[in-house]
Amino acid sequence: MTDINALRAAYQEARLRAPHWNSYRLATTLGVSEGELMAARLDDTDTLGEEVHGLALTPCDLALALPRLGELRIATRSRHGELTSLIQRMTVRGNDYSAALKAQNGLSMQWLLPHWHWACLRRSFSKSHTLGWTLQVFDRFGQALHTLEACEPRAGGWSWLLDKALDEVPRFTRRIATPTPAIDRQALLTTWQHLRHHDDYRRLLSDHGLSPLDLNRALEGRFSRQCAPARFSTALEEALESQASIVLSMPSRAGLHRHATTLQQIERHPSHLAIQGRKVTLGLDTDALTSVWQVERCSESCLEHWLEAFDSDGELMASVRLAA
């Protein structure tokens, strides 16, 4: 039995035992990346009524095709968090390097398209009827950058995507940890005051080889300070009570998912926090939340205050911009 066949069999067994688990949780349980799991299922219609196809589209062509898919639910994950937005109307503009999505409900997304390593289309069906579509975009490590689910399965763009299927198995690589370089704190402090856009912050991290947590530590005492982990949920509860407009954000090396909203509900569970705004939800694994930092950033028009939540490995889980 090949590794692919073994993984297919393990997936089928796991899905039968836990039918409500999503593909991310199933992949984690099986000890593989979500991209590896989806690639193993190419050209294999499973007995539970779902098929997976790779797509023969450039990242730019795929990004520009998204408005053809009708109403969508788009989710962006960190390791311990997920930001999900409902998109009813959108515009997408871009080139071979980057693209930006804008929607009328406060959603904005920025994508660095060279990180889009592979995309797959999943179709669930019963007999000859299509029940739903899911589009996933993965980076070269097999991590799902974005998962888009159809709210209108009959929108013409989905069948158009299916016509672009190419079931060629992608190659993924393993992530290698790199040591933190020496930090020139004074240079960072000087540069920080002149940054105005998200691209400026992303470029600063890249140029210095820093993670967001490394940067916060370097700026501590001037533009950042560490808070108690409970501060993240407390700030959201204050925003819910005051009905202040905030911005929920899921930044990554591959882009940015932001949604401006007012909060409608916060649900506390033993190990999970569920935040609901207008057309947007944010879920966080609170057991994994280890540190929270408050960061001051300059935008073109004002000074912004952000709270950033990190897990025990220093990975950014999610961030929120507080009302001024």
Question: CB of 120 within 8 A of CB of 136?
Answer: yes
Contact 178, 209 (CB under 8 A): yes
DSSP string, 166-212: --PPP--------PPPP--HHHHHHHHTT--SHHHHHHHHHHHT--H
The pLDDT value given to residue 45: 66
CA 308, CA 292: separation in Å to the nearest integer?
6
Would you place residue 47 in the very low, low, confident or very high pLDDT band (cuts 50, 70, 90)?
low
Q: Which helix (H) or strand (E) holds 64?
A: helix 59-65
The two structure tokens encoding residue 223: 């533009």
pLDDT in tens, 206-255: 888 899 999 999 999 999 999 999 999 999 999 999 999 999 999 988 99
For residue range 4-17, list pLDDT tens digits in order: 888 888 888 887 88
Whole-prediction pTM: 0.92
Residue 178 has pLDDT above 70, yes or no: yes
For the sheet with 81-87, list strands across it: 50-54, 118-126, 129-138, 144-150, 72-78, 81-87, 280-285, 272-277, 263-269
Q: Which residues are bridge partners to 54 per DSSP?
A: 120
CA distance 91 to 306: 27
pLDDT score, position 257: 97
For the chain, give the percent of residues with pLDDT over 70.
98
Residues with Cβ < 8 Å from 184, sequence gap 6 or more?
none
Per-position DSSP letters for 87-112, written without gaps between them: ESSEEEEE-SSEEEEEETTSEEEEEE
pLDDT tens sequence across 87-110? 988 999 999 999 999 998 899 999
Does pLDDT of 2 surpass 60? no
Average the pLDDT over 114-136 and give the result.
91
pLDDT digits (tens, 9 = 90+) for 254-311: 999 999 999 999 999 889 999 999 999 999 999 999 999 999 988 877 889 999 999 9
**Given a cut of 70, is residue 46 above it in pLDDT?**
no
Higher pLDDT, 280 or 180: 280
What is the spatial distance between Cα 241 and Cα 235, in angstroms, rounded to a whole number?
Answer: 10
Tell which residue, 150, 168, 170, 169, has the closest CA to residue 160: 150
Q: Is 55 in contact with 63 (CB distance < 8 Å)?
A: no
Q: SS3 breakdown of the chain: % helix, strand, coil, rounded to 5?
A: 30, 40, 30
Task: Give all strands of the β-sheet with 255-261 in edge-to-edge order.
Answer: 90-94, 98-103, 107-112, 255-261, 246-252, 316-322, 303-311, 289-298, 224-227
Q: Which pLDDT belongs to residue 301?
A: 76
Sort residue 289 into left (φ over 0), alpha (ψ -120 to 50) or beta: beta
Q: Above pLDDT 90, what percent of the chain?
A: 65
What's the whole-number average pLDDT of the chain? 91
Q: What angle do CA 42, 77, 16 make, to 5 degrees?
A: 45
